[in-house]
């Protein structure tokens, strides 16, 4: 049926890019089936996955046979097909701001801290755990500083762009999850912390949490 397509999310519990899409799907109330590719075991690089998702990156969303890669393209597609609970504001200037904030995370922060970049630091330059953590935290601090500077003035509704979460929170919350895993200090980022607080406990964000995914190890269960 056109209005209720069969959705399959190719995912990994700890993938922050998949986490963005899980939040968007949950905010839209769209049910989906999940297929797991174990990233730490490198399953996402194997031909079985690459034949479906040539970028070899998680997530990929299948919608009635259409295969979409790149979280921003996926989320915008979902928003256009399912306009209820909009993830982009109606106003063009605010839409551009929402995309800019999401892309600040997706294009300027996340790639520098992605699994393959960290692996390369180890393999090519012999970086140890402490150096990797330091690298990770450096880019988080720089990124969150820019993010806060780019945020519009605090909104009465408590979210980045008004009284409901949008694309911005879909990107911010997973990036904060990653940052905390690597011991980043969020104390200087009051507005980031306020947005995390605003989303904490919302059912969509709770459902999308890595620890609540079917492929999360028992030891990580929330």
Q: Which residues bind to ligand GSH, rule: CB under 6 A?
A: 15-17, 39, 44, 57-58, 70-72, 106, 114-116
What residues contact 40, with CB distance under 8 A and at least 6 apart?
115
Residue 16 beta carbon to ligand GSH: minimum distance, rounded to whole angstroms = 5
CB closer to ligand GSH, 123 vs 187? 123
* Smallest separation, CB 157 to ligand GSH (Å): 26
Three-state DSSP class for 141?
helix
The token pair that represents 73 in the structure block: 């393209």
Q: Computed over its alpha carbons, how large is the radius of gyration of the chain?
A: 17
Residue with smaller CB distance to ligand GSH, 46 or 197: 46
Give the nearest distance from C-beta 187 to ligand GSH in angstroms.
25
Hey, what are 127's tokens?
A: 């970086």
Q: Please, which residue, 34 or 162, has the CB nearer to ligand GSH?
A: 34
Least separation in angstroms between CB 1 and ligand GSH: 27
Q: Which residues pair with 7 in a beta bridge?
A: 63
Using CA atoms, how far apart are residues 200 and 202, in angstroms rounded to an integer?
6
For residues 135 and 158, which CB has a smaller minimum distance to ligand GSH in the complex? 135
Neighbour count for residue 164 (Cβ, 10 Å): 16
């Amino acid at each position: 049926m056109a209005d209720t397509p069969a959705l399959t999310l190719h995912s990994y519990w700890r993938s922050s890019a998949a986490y963005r899409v899980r939040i968007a799907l949950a905010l839209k109330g769209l049910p989906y089936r999940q297929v797991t590719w174990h990233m730490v075991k490198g399953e996402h690089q194997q031909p079985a996955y690459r034949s479906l998702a040539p970028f070899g990156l998680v997530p990929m969303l299948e919608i009635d046979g259409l295969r979409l890669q790149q979280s921003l393209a996926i989320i915008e597609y979902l928003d256009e097909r399912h306009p209820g609970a909009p993830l982009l504001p109606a106003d063009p200037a605010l839409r551009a701001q929402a995309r800019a904030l999401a892309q600040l995370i997706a294009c300027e922060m996340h790639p520098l801290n992605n699994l393959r970049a960290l692996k390369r630091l180890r393999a090519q330059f012999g970086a140890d755990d402490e150096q990797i953590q330091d690298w990770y935290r450096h880019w988080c601090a720089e990124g969150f500083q820019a993010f806060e500077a780019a945020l519009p003035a605090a909104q009465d509704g408590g979210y980045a762009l008004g009284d409901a979460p949008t694309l911005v929170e879909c990107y911010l919350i997973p990036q904060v999850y990653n940052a905390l895993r690597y011991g980043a200090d969020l104390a200087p980022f009051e507005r980031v912390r306020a947005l995390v607080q605003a989303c904490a406990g919302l059912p969509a964000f709770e459902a999308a949490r890595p620890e609540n995914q079917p492929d999360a190890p028992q030891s990580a269960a929330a």
